[in-house]
Structure 1
């Protein structure tokens, strides 16, 4: 029996289930099927019953005892029975084994818990990164149902999220994910496909080198760049890397050079060395700058020394100096992070002629040399840095820091206290501040509202550390040179002149930055000024300012919240000077004081 007409009728009845059975009355689509059903009913009674049932359904009056809903249900049950008994279930095409990829992943979490993560993976908008990173930390991605959405997130428009999936989530699935990724990616595709190649390279290891090599040779530019990186250190592919280092695209050559740098073969090192004499000098230098060790360093130092000799020969004409400096910059880049005897000698020679190179404007080389030699330490290093220091104030920090490590506190003071004005004095003050304290940002709970806010945290050398490293005369020097933050760190109890000076500076500088406030606050504490007196100084300073602040920094605000209720009227009098966040903060403090009084 043909089921074509029956299936057409089933589709129309399903439509009425959705649209509503009342719409069946007079339905022209059903009316069109009645003659065909009745005609077939002459040979099979069941068709006649179906035809009569359809006819009754489309002609039913609204007030009939058997409403259309009941008739629709009975007709559908009859039709379903016929279809189930008369339909064909044997496959029409050739059978074969179902494609399957076994995955060793459970489905242990509830759908409710996974829904938020799946929505974050498959949608766009803010807040998704935090949801996904937390889900990874909680182990939710080990549930099989998140595997495919996670792969799709490699194409997320938010690059940071896509990279997180690439670097953390997908590699955790191990080699079992590789067949899925191969079926998913297109080596001629874009950045998302390049990320998939990186995952394969990361979890597949040597077993996938052939595929990685194919992607590196035949893929799109981003795919090739990612694939080439995973052939680094594989001597079997050095020939391919050498070929790609001559590619017409600069990004491909850069990736090839980076991979060659991981190889210890002579051919690879020769190619990198050749790049220094051609258009890819900067690419090769960048690659070597990211490596702690390189077999080429000694040879490159020798070549750089020859460039310095050329510079001294043409110092008067100066025509060739720009090209010499361009080549030298590449050598200096390649030396970054290295430490070999040849480099020690090279940088010491540079510092010996520091005044000459400073005159040429090659200050970058002098800073590199001073930094390197200062880290090596020793008497000769200190002598060279002190010599360089005389060339310009910008080099003072290197000799100063090494002097603190090598010389007695009194000797350091005798030398550097002579800088009492100008650029040398200003640089010395800045360097003293960097040595005496450090500051970092961190998040604090917002005391006057919901959420969090940034605040500064200052780490100041302890009095014992200061006594071991600094001559006590630095305090008097700092006050005489108006270096308030230096004086604050070095302050001591019982010194009336220091206390008066710091109180005066506190009133003028406390609002400049949270770092200034914190250092001066600790300075007054070290000078023996109590907390109540310091908080009074804050209020007095605010009263002395004509213009209010946009907001009170975290620690200043926290100290204001510790004021007793007796300050309520004084703070209320300040309110008309403040707007924005500062006004809200003052309201919070005043309201808190009112609650205490109640």
Structure 2
């Protein structure tokens, strides 16, 4: 018996079962299979019975479709069951459970599929898709565990590192046996990530493996093992490794020494900090939080600052060494909030111009910008001083000050202090490009604060996440949106548009129509559509449909993948219009939207 057509029926029944029986009536794919089934039924009566059952599903309505689909599914599965063998020989043994059990999450199938593909395939855009998916909380889901484990061996290291640090740890100790199953201590980058993951989810259990790796592991895996040593007993070994020729080995040893809260480790780090030279070889050790080492770090930073001021640029070797040493030490102050660091930054900030002059050709305000960035991270006191001089800054410095001002949490004061830059971008008669760059810095900072909408190609609008973004948007002074509309700042309008702002709606609609008339539609179309949905534009459904028709007519099918991810966020009243639209589109286009429309139709609220 040829079962190819039955396999097609099975696939369509499975698709409809996932989408929901209420989308089964009139399904055009099933309808196409009736004719070949009837033809096969002339030789094998069972096919005729299947054809009749398919016909009942196609001709059903919402009240009868569930029963009809179940009958068809039962019949097809029964027939296919007779054509194969199931089961396995041998004795059954209980499976040992490690950690907590993990159950599937209520994650949309479209999101699961896109994340699984991003984890297991190649090509651009995968990292962004995975990063965006984290906000929708698809992990830990057992259906994504296999793809995530496979991603550890991927050639794109950024994806592998993200999976090891942020995704697989969510599964806890339960994944230890699966990780160990493929772990090879003489392997490459994938096995190095596996060892790091094992230490992350089960530090105690990983200790014995780490010591085995140190004996005969490959260089890549051994480097990870060195960085994970935490016992003070290992300090002497780490000190020895910190003198190795290999940069990665040294970095691993210093990163471990920086974490170990041990007097011997701190004493060694202090000794190395006081050495002359650029200090790049011990940069990981400079991250230490040991009080004795931090005290010396701050003292060496002051000394390095003065040394660069005193060194003449004509002495190229000495000048370069002094500059590199200061840059390295300032980088080590990242995210430090202690009083000592605060005092140092407040001392250095007034002397930015002098240090920039001392840098000469080696840097374009490198040290000054580093001090400003550290101030934006340190404390309210450092941020207040940083903000107070914003009128003297270039666009890069203004961006740092803007982030600091937003972090201070006073929306009205932030608007009063900084809105003039957007006004000036439109009115400036001289240095217009500089004024525009400063306005762009302000716009980008606000967009980052509320959740920048750029590059949301793979966005599935999630209710909880949208509520969080709406709260962030509401924390921004409402005058920013009025100002954005006044000057047609579309990036800011996209970020801040809200349901009660009619002028913002008009601006977004005009932008959509303008973009759809362009000869070439760029990726910013997705930003416009997302803003329409987020701001609850009164004509949201009609505008989305207009965009779908326009991109379909131009054979721009790649947009359909992004637009389809927005459909489940629409109002359920949109379903009838969308179902009519599916009938107008070519089959290949309709295929990309049908599941999204079904998801919207089946949404509970």
Q: How does 1:183-194 map to 2 (within 5 A)?
A: none
* CA spacing shift, 1:162–1:255, aligned 2, 3 Å: closer
Distance, in Å, in 1 between the alignment partners of 2:229 and 2:501 is 67
SS of alignment partner, residue 559 of structure 2: coil
Q: Deviations over 1:432-477 (max 9, x none)?
A: 212233569999xxxxxxxxx863556366777656641x332221
- 8 Å contact kept, 1:560–1:589: no
Measured after TM superposition, the shift of residue 327 of structure 1 is 1.0
Q: Is it true that 1:429 corresponds to 2:406 in the alignment?
A: no
Q: How does 1:582-593 map to 2 (within 5 A)?
A: 582=589, 584-585=591-592
* CA spacing shift, 1:536–1:111, aligned 2, 3 Å: same
Match in the other structure for 1:522:
534
The CA RMSD over aligned residues, in Å, is 5.2
Q: Deviations over 1:319-366 (max 9, x none)?
A: 454322211222123323433333212222333233455564354544
- What is the number of residues matched between the two proteins? 416
Match in the other structure for 1:110:
92
* CA spacing shift, 1:503–1:164, aligned 2, 3 Å: same
- 8 Å contact kept, 1:456–1:515: no
- 8 Å contact kept, 2:308–2:322: yes
Match in the other structure for 1:208:
none
- 8 Å contact kept, 1:282–1:330: yes
The one of 124, 147, 154 aligned to 2:184: 154
- 8 Å contact kept, 1:436–1:489: yes
Structure 1: stretches of 5+ with no match in the other structure: 1-107, 115-124, 176-197, 203-211, 444-452, 593-598
Higher deviation after alignment, 478-487 or 276-285: 276-285
Match in the other structure for 1:130:
146
* CA spacing shift, 1:226–1:434, aligned 2, 3 Å: closer
Q: How does 1:44-443 map to 2 (within 5 A)?
A: 110=92, 130=146, 153-154=183-184, 160=190, 164=194, 168=198, 199-200=207-208, 225=223, 232-235=230-233, 238-261=235-258, 262=260, 264-266=262-264, 269-270=267-268, 273-274=271-272, 277=275, 281-289=279-287, 291-293=288-290, 295-314=292-311, 317=314, 319=316, 320-357=318-355, 360=359, 361-378=363-380, 381-387=383-389, 390-404=392-406, 406=408, 409-420=411-422, 421=425, 422-437=436-451
- 8 Å contact kept, 1:301–1:343: yes
Measured after TM superposition, the shift of residue 424 of structure 1 is 0.7
Distance, in Å, in 1 between the alignment partners of 2:504 and 2:147 is 53
* CA spacing shift, 1:339–1:489, aligned 2, 3 Å: closer
Structure 2: stretches of 5+ with no match in the other structure: 1-89, 97-119, 122-142, 151-168, 426-435, 517-522, 600-605
Measured after TM superposition, the shift of residue 551 of structure 1 is 3.2
Distance, in Å, in 2 between the alignment partners of 1:128 and 1:404 is 37
Measured after TM superposition, the shift of residue 570 of structure 1 is 6.6
- 8 Å contact kept, 2:582–2:590: no
Distance, in Å, in 1 between the alignment partners of 2:475 and 2:598 is 48
* CA spacing shift, 1:496–1:228, aligned 2, 3 Å: closer
- Rg: which structure is higher? 1
- 8 Å contact kept, 1:475–1:490: yes
SS of alignment partner, residue 110 of structure 1: coil
- 8 Å contact kept, 1:358–1:391: no
Q: TM-score, normalised by structure 2?
A: 0.54
Distance, in Å, in 2 between the alignment partners of 1:312 and 1:513 is 51
Measured after TM superposition, the shift of residue 481 of structure 1 is 2.6
Measured after TM superposition, the shift of residue 299 of structure 1 is 1.7
- 8 Å contact kept, 1:225–1:251: yes
Match in the other structure for 1:35:
none
Distance, in Å, in 1 between the alignment partners of 2:272 and 2:355 is 27
Distance, in Å, in 2 between the alignment partners of 1:455 and 1:413 is 32
Match in the other structure for 2:559:
551
- 8 Å contact kept, 1:355–1:388: no
Q: TM-score, normalised by structure 1?
A: 0.54
Measured after TM superposition, the shift of residue 372 of structure 1 is 3.1
- 8 Å contact kept, 1:394–1:427: yes
